[in-house]
Amino acid sequence: MIRFASNQLKSRRKLLPGIGQSPFKTLTLNLDSLLQRLAAADAAFSSSSAAASNPSLSIWRRKKEMGKEGLLVVQELKRLQSNRVRLDGVIRTRVSRLVRTDLLAVLAEFQRQGQVFLCMKIYDLVRKEIWYRPDMFFYRDMLLMLARNKKVDESMRVWEDLKREEVLFDQHTFGDIVRSFLDGGLPSQAMEFYDEMKQSPDPPLCLPYRVILKGLIPYPELREKVKEDFLELFPDMSVYDPPEDLFNNQQ
C-alpha cells in the first residue's frame, strides 16, 4: 500500500505544470519530503517483516508474552505445588496442551519468580516437546536462575543434560554463569564451571575473565588462580587489585 501511494504521488507530480519552478517550489519540496518518508517507511516495514520471520533467531531470545491460558496455568501450578499428585495431573492435562509461546512464557515467569521446583517441572516438559531443539540460551537461563537460588543439585543436573545434548557455551555466557554462582555464594560450583570454560573450544576472551575476577574479590585465593590464568592468556593486559582491606571487609 505504501508503494502504491508513492507511485500515485509521483504520477500526480508529473501532471502538475511547472513543478519544481516558482511558484510551485514549496509544493515540490513538500512532495519530495513526503516521498522520502514513504520510501523510508516502506524499507522499515520490509526490514521488520524479514527480522520477524528470520528462522535463525533463537526462540529463547524472543520476547515471551503470556496469553490468558498461560496465566491461568501459572496460578494453578503455584496453588497446587504442595499437592504433587494433583500437580502432575494438571501438567499432563493442561500444561502439556499449551502452545509453544505460552509454555515458554510460563517457564520464563517461573524463572523470574524463582520458583525452582516448578521451573524444573516445566523444564522437563519443554525438553520432551516435538519442537524442542537444544539451545545455549535455554540452558543459560536455567543455570542463572538456579545460581540465584543457590541450587547446586539442580544446576548439576541441568549441566549434565547440556553436555549430553552437546550444547556449547560461548565465553561471555560462561563468564555470566561463573559470576552468578560467585554472587550466589557458591564458589566451588563457580570454579567447576570456570574449569569447563577453560576447556571450551571457544577462544578465550578478555572481558569474561575480568567479570569473573571482579566476582572473586571475596575469595582472594581463588582470585589469584584465575589471575594467573588471565595474565598467561593475555600477557599484555593488566589486572586491577583492590586494596587489602577490601578483601578483609568482603570476608
State pLDDT tens for residues 45-93: 444 333 333 444 555 555 567 788 889 999 999 999 989 899 999 999 9
pTM: 0.72
Q: Alpha-carbon dihedral of residues 13, 16, 21, 23, nearest 10 degrees?
A: -120
Residue 8: its pLDDT value, please?
A: 52
Residue 244: its pLDDT value, please?
A: 61
Higher pLDDT, 23 or 151: 151
Residue 212: its pLDDT value, please?
A: 96
Q: Which amino acid is at 208?
A: P
Query: Which tens digits make up the pLDDT trace of 163-195?
Result: 999 999 999 999 999 999 999 999 999 999 999
Query: Which tens digits make up the pLDDT trace of 108-163?
Result: 999 999 999 999 999 999 999 999 999 999 999 999 999 999 999 999 999 999 99
Our CA angle for 155, 159, 163, nearest 5°, is: 175
Cis peptide before 23 (omega within 30 of 0): yes
pLDDT (mean) for 7-21 = 48
Higher pLDDT, 242 or 60: 242
Q: What share of the chain is helix, strand, coil (3-state, %, to 5)?
A: 70, 0, 30
The average confidence (pLDDT) of the chain is 80
In which residue are the cell numbers 545460581 written?
147
Q: Is 202 helix (H, G, I), strand (E, B) or coil?
A: coil
Q: Pick the closest to residue 145 from 175, 113, 170, 173 (CA basis).
A: 113
Highest mean pLDDT among 101-105, 236-240, 244-248: 101-105
> Grid coordinates standing for 159?
549441566
